[in-house]
Amino acid sequence: RKEVEQDPGPFNVPEGATVAFNCTYSNSASQSFFWYRQDCRKEPKLLMSVYSSGNEDGRFTAQLNRASQYISLLIRDSKLSDSATYLCVVNYYSNYQLIWGAGTKLIIKP
Protein backbone atom coordinates (compact mmCIF):
# COMPACT_ATOMS: atom_id res chain seq x y z
CA ARG A 1 0.00 0.00 0.00
CA LYS A 2 1.34 3.45 -0.89
CA GLU A 3 1.97 5.88 1.93
CA VAL A 4 -0.10 8.57 0.28
CA GLU A 5 -2.87 7.67 -2.13
CA GLN A 6 -4.96 9.95 -4.27
CA ASP A 7 -8.00 9.60 -6.43
CA PRO A 8 -6.92 8.47 -9.86
CA GLY A 9 -7.55 10.96 -12.64
CA PRO A 10 -8.12 12.64 -14.83
CA PHE A 11 -11.18 14.50 -13.64
CA ASN A 12 -12.98 16.17 -16.53
CA VAL A 13 -15.44 18.76 -15.27
CA PRO A 14 -17.27 21.69 -16.86
CA GLU A 15 -16.35 25.22 -15.98
CA GLY A 16 -18.28 26.43 -12.95
CA ALA A 17 -18.66 22.98 -11.42
CA THR A 18 -17.53 21.96 -7.96
CA VAL A 19 -14.89 19.27 -7.75
CA ALA A 20 -13.50 17.39 -4.76
CA PHE A 21 -10.28 15.44 -4.34
CA ASN A 22 -9.53 12.99 -1.58
CA CYS A 23 -6.20 11.76 -0.32
CA THR A 24 -5.48 9.08 2.25
CA TYR A 25 -2.27 8.57 4.19
CA SER A 26 -1.06 5.47 5.96
CA ASN A 27 1.18 6.80 8.72
CA SER A 28 -0.80 8.02 11.69
CA ALA A 29 2.28 9.90 12.89
CA SER A 30 1.97 12.32 9.98
CA GLN A 31 2.06 15.85 11.25
CA SER A 32 1.48 18.32 8.49
CA PHE A 33 -0.33 18.22 5.21
CA PHE A 34 -0.33 20.21 2.04
CA TRP A 35 -1.94 20.45 -1.35
CA TYR A 36 0.43 21.40 -4.13
CA ARG A 37 -0.50 22.27 -7.66
CA GLN A 38 1.64 21.36 -10.64
CA ASP A 39 1.04 22.77 -14.09
CA CYS A 40 2.25 20.87 -17.11
CA ARG A 41 6.05 20.86 -17.26
CA LYS A 42 6.32 23.23 -14.33
CA GLU A 43 7.47 22.82 -10.75
CA PRO A 44 5.03 22.03 -7.93
CA LYS A 45 3.74 25.07 -6.09
CA LEU A 46 2.05 25.19 -2.73
CA LEU A 47 -1.69 25.67 -3.03
CA MET A 48 -2.73 25.29 0.59
CA SER A 49 -1.54 23.96 3.87
CA VAL A 50 -4.18 21.81 5.55
CA TYR A 51 -5.02 22.51 9.17
CA SER A 52 -6.88 20.32 11.63
CA SER A 53 -9.71 22.82 11.82
CA GLY A 54 -10.02 22.98 8.06
CA ASN A 55 -9.20 26.06 6.07
CA GLU A 56 -10.56 28.02 3.16
CA ASP A 57 -8.91 30.27 0.63
CA GLY A 58 -11.35 31.79 -1.80
CA ARG A 59 -12.84 29.01 -3.90
CA PHE A 60 -10.62 26.38 -2.28
CA THR A 61 -11.40 24.49 0.91
CA ALA A 62 -9.10 21.94 2.52
CA GLN A 63 -10.07 19.59 5.30
CA LEU A 64 -8.24 17.06 7.44
CA ASN A 65 -9.72 14.01 9.13
CA ARG A 66 -7.06 12.53 11.39
CA ALA A 67 -9.28 9.72 12.65
CA SER A 68 -9.82 8.41 9.14
CA GLN A 69 -6.43 9.59 7.89
CA TYR A 70 -7.55 11.52 4.89
CA ILE A 71 -7.47 15.03 3.58
CA SER A 72 -9.65 16.62 0.99
CA LEU A 73 -9.61 19.57 -1.36
CA LEU A 74 -12.78 21.18 -2.65
CA ILE A 75 -12.77 23.60 -5.56
CA ARG A 76 -15.94 25.62 -6.09
CA ASP A 77 -16.92 27.49 -9.24
CA SER A 78 -14.04 25.94 -11.15
CA LYS A 79 -12.19 28.03 -13.72
CA LEU A 80 -10.34 26.99 -16.85
CA SER A 81 -7.14 28.09 -15.09
CA ASP A 82 -7.71 25.47 -12.39
CA SER A 83 -6.68 22.79 -14.86
CA ALA A 84 -3.55 21.21 -13.39
CA THR A 85 -2.36 18.22 -11.41
CA TYR A 86 -3.11 18.43 -7.70
CA LEU A 87 -0.65 16.73 -5.39
CA CYS A 88 -1.32 15.66 -1.84
CA VAL A 89 1.76 15.93 0.37
CA VAL A 90 2.35 14.64 3.87
CA ASN A 91 5.17 15.64 6.17
CA TYR A 92 6.49 13.54 9.03
CA TYR A 93 8.18 15.62 11.67
CA SER A 94 10.35 12.67 12.53
CA ASN A 95 12.37 12.78 9.36
CA TYR A 96 11.16 15.88 7.55
CA GLN A 97 10.64 14.10 4.29
CA LEU A 98 7.77 15.20 2.14
CA ILE A 99 5.80 12.16 1.01
CA TRP A 100 3.94 12.79 -2.21
CA GLY A 101 0.84 11.32 -3.71
CA ALA A 102 0.87 10.49 -7.40
CA GLY A 103 -1.36 13.46 -8.15
CA THR A 104 -4.80 13.89 -9.62
CA LYS A 105 -5.10 15.57 -12.97
CA LEU A 106 -7.96 18.04 -13.30
CA ILE A 107 -9.22 19.23 -16.67
CA ILE A 108 -11.74 22.03 -16.70
CA LYS A 109 -13.73 22.25 -19.92
CA PRO A 110 -15.49 25.38 -21.21
Cα of 89 vs its chain's centroid, Å: 7
Q: Which stretch binds other proteins (CB under 8 A): 17-25, 54-62, 74-82, 88-96?
A: 88-96
Q: Residue 85's CB: how many other CB atoms inside 10 A?
A: 19
Nearest approach, Cβ of residue 17 and other proteins (Å)? 26
Would you say 78 or 84 has its CB closer to other proteins? 84
3-state secondary structure string across 62-81: EEEECCCCEEEEEECCCCHH
* 43 is a site residue for other proteins (CB under 8 A): yes
Minimum distance from CB of 13 to other proteins (Å)? Answer: 23
Eight-class DSSP state of 97:
P
Q: Counting contacts by CB under 8 A, is residue 13 touching other proteins?
A: no
Q: Does 28 bind other proteins (CB under 8 A)?
A: no
Determine which residue in the list 13, 17, 74, 102 makes contact with other proteins, applying CB under 8 A.
102
What distance in Å separates the CA atoms of residue 34 and residue 21, rounded to the nearest whole number? 13
